[in-house]
Amino acid sequence: MILDGDGPASISLVSASYEFPPESDSPEWLVIHGHVSTLDGSWNLQAAIMTTGESMALGEWLLSVAAEEIPAAAGDDPTFTFLEPSLAFSVASYGPTTRLRVYLSHDCAAPWLDIDDQLRLYAYFLELTLSPAAIEASARSWIEEIQAFPTR
């Protein structure tokens, strides 16, 4: 999935593998590979940051955003989070385009941030300006991609 806004920021996420083998009693964690670009720089990420259920919920949430069914956030805090607090999302505003926020901390944080800022939950975010059609296309691409990783 690629979320490439009208400005200089973008993020791509790819479901790469299950974190644990099938015989494990651990939850269904997915290892996600990603690339983030900002005015400040770009970096790659690779971490188990969501479960199989959360990955499907992300696709559904993005479809709801494209349909303007998710309320815009009142402040800077995310409204769609995961059990692992490395990635989160919110809607900043709607209009002809949608301003989507992508929060990156912990395993997804920008590498140039000092460790305290990397661990500060949801302090660093990208703000992407996207059309509803682009959000829907990204959501559908994500949903199709994660079909390769069903809950076992």
pLDDT in tens, 59-117: 999 999 999 999 999 988 999 999 999 999 999 999 999 999 999 999 999 999 999 99
**DSSP assignment letter at 71:** P
6: phi then psi, degrees, rounded to nearest 5:
-70, -25
- What does the pLDDT look like over 116-125, one tens digit per residue? 999 999 989 9
Question: How many helices (H) does the chain have, and how many strands (E)?
Answer: 3, 8
Which residue, chain included where needed, has tokens 């990397």? Answer: 118
In this prediction the pTM is 0.94
Q: How confident is the model at residue 10 (pLDDT cuts 50, 70, 90)?
A: very high
What span, in angstroms and rounded, lies between the C-alpha atoms of 101 and 88? 8
Q: Domains in the chain and their CATH numbers?
A: 2-146 (2.30.31)
Evaluated on CA atoms 57, 40, 77, 91, the torsion sign reads: negative
